[in-house]
Amino acid sequence: MATAGERAKGRGAGGNGGQQSPSAHRPPRSGVGDEVGHAGHPLYRRGLLKSGISALVLFLAAGMPYAIARFLAPAASRPAPRHNAKVSPRPRNRMRPPGALADDAAFIAACIGCGLCGEVCPPRAIVFHAREGGGAVNTPYIDPEARACTLCGKCMPVCPTEALTVVPREKIDMGLAQIDRTACYPWVDRGICGACVSVCPLGERAIGFKQWNQYKPLVRKGCVGCGLCVEVCPHPSKPIWIVDRSEGSVAKHSI
């Protein structure tokens, strides 16, 4: 039933097969052309729309109990914030971008995976989680061994959602650097290094040398976990890494 019209435009990809040649019009019955064919197209009858909407409502209703339960549940039964978690809440050297919500479940819910934070990051430190699938699909993280955050602060204002909120540089909490004193070159007296201390954008507040014993680095309270020290560490086994603040420890004494 392919008419000249269909042949004329070679793009009829079959999707519009034989149903659409003009001869499918009903022959005019009463002989008055203007009154012909008020039946409407079958795909657009109201009934179908109605059942479409009821299917939608049904789907939503099916999910409602769970949603309500999730919403009303006491905080304890919701996914635990990572600060309270007993098991390690995240592998080392996996940080959310600066300004991220502390509760990782909330962060995942808030982040729409737009990639804007990655797209403004000057060192291209922000990469995306589990692009192969999984719960945290397309959410951003930083792997400081590959590329660390420079605390430039560009990603926070660009995030359209509350996943990243603007916080001052010193209040950023991506984690805490931890040093393995059994491997770090100065700590095992294998030379002078100080790369981590010299690269830290926050200076003495965050990382400094042990008193009287130059070049042995110590992490202090002011560390925000940007990971630059991890990136710069020349030791092949990277004896410095970032952990969650709840899991790390810092040098107590002053500089």
Partner 1 sequence: MKEHASTQAGTAVHKPFFLWRHLNKLRWVVLSLVFSMLVLLPMLHLYQTYVAAHAYDLLAPSEKRLYDAMELLTSPFVSDPEKQLDAVKGTTWSGTLFGLKLSDPLAVVGQMAAGLTIYWPFLVTALIPIGFTVVFGRFFCGWICPATFLYELNSNIAGWLHWAGFRIGGRRFDKRIKYGVLALGVVVSAATGSIAFAAIYPPAIIGREIYYAVALSGFGAGAAFFAGTLLFDLLVARRGFCRYLCPGGALYSLLGRYRLVRIRRIVESCNDCAKCNVVCEFGLDPLRDGFGQECNNCTACIAVCPTDAMTFVLRPTDVPPQGPGHLGRQYRRAMEKAAGEAAGRERDRGARAAGDGESTSRPEREEAA
Binding residues (CB under 6 A) for ligand SF4: these are 97-98, 111-117, 120-123, 125-126, 140, 142, 149-155, 158-159, 161, 163-164
Q: Is 166 in the site for partner 1 (CB under 8 A)?
A: no
Q: Which residues contact 146 (CB under 8 A, 6 or more apart)?
A: 125, 127, 231
By the rule CB under 8 A, 22 interacts with partner 1: yes
Q: What would the two tokens of residue 40 be?
A: 């409407």
Contact string 25-44 vs partner 1 (x = CB under 8 A):
x-xx-xxxxxxxxxxxx-xx
Which residues in the 97-156 window bind partner 1 by CB under 8 A?
Answer: 105-106, 108-116, 118-120, 122-124, 127-128, 131-133, 135-139, 154
Cα dist. 160→6, 113, 139 in Å? 46, 10, 14
170 binds partner 1 (CB under 8 A): no
Site residues for partner 1, 2-21, by CB under 8 A, read 3-6, 8-17, 20-21
DSSP letter at 79? P
By a kind-dependent CB cut-off of 5 to 8 A, residue 48 interacts, out of ligand SF4, partner 1, none, with partner 1
Which helix (H) or strand (E) segment holds residue 236: the answer is none
Spatial distance between the Cα atoms of 59 and 149, rounded to a whole number of angstroms: 42
Q: How far is the CB of 100 from ligand SF4 (least distance, A)?
A: 7
- In the list ligand SF4, partner 1, none, the entry touching 149 (Cβ below 5 to 8 angstroms by class) is ligand SF4
CB atoms inside a 10 Å sphere around CB 129: 18
Q: Report the partner that residue 33 touches, choosing among ligand SF4, partner 1, none (CB closer than 5 to 8 A by kind).
A: partner 1
Q: Nearest approach, Cβ of 111 to partner 1 (angstroms)? A: 8
SS (H, E, C) 114-177: CCHHHHHCCCCCEEECCCCCCCCCCCEEECCCCCCCCCCCCHHHHCCCCCECCCCHHHCCCCEE
* Binding partner at 72 among ligand SF4, partner 1, none, C-beta below 5 to 8 Å by kind: none
| CB of 105 or CB of 202, closer to partner 1 | 105
Q: How far is the CB of 147 from ligand SF4 (least distance, A)?
A: 9
Q: Which letter does DSSP use for residue 205 in this model?
A: G
Output Rg (C-alpha) for the chain, integer angstroms.
30
- CB contact set of 154 (below 8 Å; sequence gap of 6+): 120, 121, 122
Identify which of residues 26 and 253 has a Cβ nearer to partner 1 in the complex: 26
Which of partner 1, ligand SF4, none interacts with 105 (beta carbon under 5 to 8 A by kind)?
Answer: partner 1
The rounded distance, in Å, linking the Cα atoms of 50 and 53 is 5
Provide, rounded to whole angstroms, the least separation between the CB of residue 191 and partner 1: 26
